[in-house]
Chains A and B, each alone.
Chain A
Amino acid sequence: KQEVTQIPAALSVPEGENLVLNCSFTDSAIYNLQWFRQDPGKGLTSLLLIQSSQREQTSGRLNASLDKSSGRSTLYIAASQPGDSATYLCAVKNSWGKLQFGAGTQVVVTP
């Protein structure tokens, strides 16, 4: 059974510092992995999708890496800003339909 874990559960950094968010999964037979941002009481905003055949995906200040064999993905956010404060979720797809989510990392970027 797939388990998705995100460590740490919470993170506070000063503005300008790079953010490193970790996601691990127990079953490496995944189709893809998606990173989301969730603001309090709001929906999920898709940040990046990385397919199982890819090692890396970039969008602006965001870069996600995937090491399928070791069951890990890392989301890097360069030069963090207060507007990056949110909860970041990773989710893996290892069956036809569903995404399976981690519990998230709550990020606070202080000015």
Chain B
Amino acid sequence: EPEVTQTPSHQVTQMGQEVILRCVPISNHLYFYWYRQILGQKVEFLVSFYNNEISEKSEIFDDQFSVERPDGSNFTLKIRSTKLEDSAMYFCASSTGTYNEQFFGPGTRLTVL
């Protein structure tokens, strides 16, 4: 069964460093999303992406964050200068349509020291 994959599974970085989290959505999906979950808290929406542009973003998704679909299969989230409070599990998701079921990847645990 097709699934969303994410790499790496765990990333440790120093505060102020740039990180890129990678996702491969399900191949026939057109809508892509990033969410995050700080330990012990709710899953929070970051951004949605369709047709090579951001369609919606949350107030969390400030200028330190960017997303890109560099080729036909990958979808990336970049954090330019990480802060301690960026430590969280980051989930990528994809769907065939904006009102359709979203399928999530296994997540990347980001630890900022």
Q: Which residues of A contact B (CB under 8 A)?
A: 31-32, 34, 36, 41-46, 49, 51, 89, 91, 93, 95-104
Contacts and interface: CB of A to CB of B under 8 A. Distances in A.
Interface residues of B, number: 26
Contact of A98 (B56, B99, B104, B107): B56
A101 B102 contact: no
A101 B55 contact: no
Interface of B: 31, 33, 35, 41-45, 47-48, 50, 55-56, 58, 91, 98-107, 109
Given A42-B106, A43-B105, A49-B100, A98 B45 contact: yes
A34 B101 contact: yes
Contact of B48 (A45, A91, A98, A103): A98
A46 B101 contact: yes
Nearest to A93: B99
Nearest to B55: A97
B102 A34 contact: yes
Given A97-B33, A97-B48, A101-B44, A46 B103 contact: yes
